[in-house]
Amino acid sequence: MDDIQPFVSPSSRWDENTKTQFKWKFYRLTVELNIIILLVAISVLIFFLIHSPYTIPCIVGMLALALVISLDFKKKYQETKVWLNENAGNKTIAEDGH
């Protein structure tokens, strides 16, 4: 049992610059995801609550904007995932043999 080492988060080994980069990457993804959710939710509410000739074009515009932001979110999420893997700086338990 002596060979078991405690889990150490990769972020605890990062320097301040790397931590700051991670915080901004995470912040951006969080804000984009919140905007996507709000646009979809508001478009559903508008569909049921507002009856005017501009309702459908407004909903289509909001959903199109949500789609565009979703595509950017997916791209940035994948880039951040690669960045995290590159900056992890340690082997996983499976690679380590423990």
- Taking only the tens place, the pLDDT of each residue in 23-74 is 999 999 999 999 999 999 999 999 999 999 999 999 999 999 999 999 999 9
Global pTM value: 0.74
Quote the CA–CA distance of 69 and 32 in Å, as a whole number: 7
Quote the CA–CA distance of 23 and 26 in Å, as a whole number: 5
If we measure between CA atoms, which residue out of 85, 77, 86 comes closest to residue 26? 77
SS (H, E, C) 5-32: CCCCCHHHHCCHHHHHHHHHHHHHHHHH
Who wins on pLDDT, 7 or 64?
A: 64
Quote the CA–CA distance of 6 and 23 in Å, as a whole number: 25
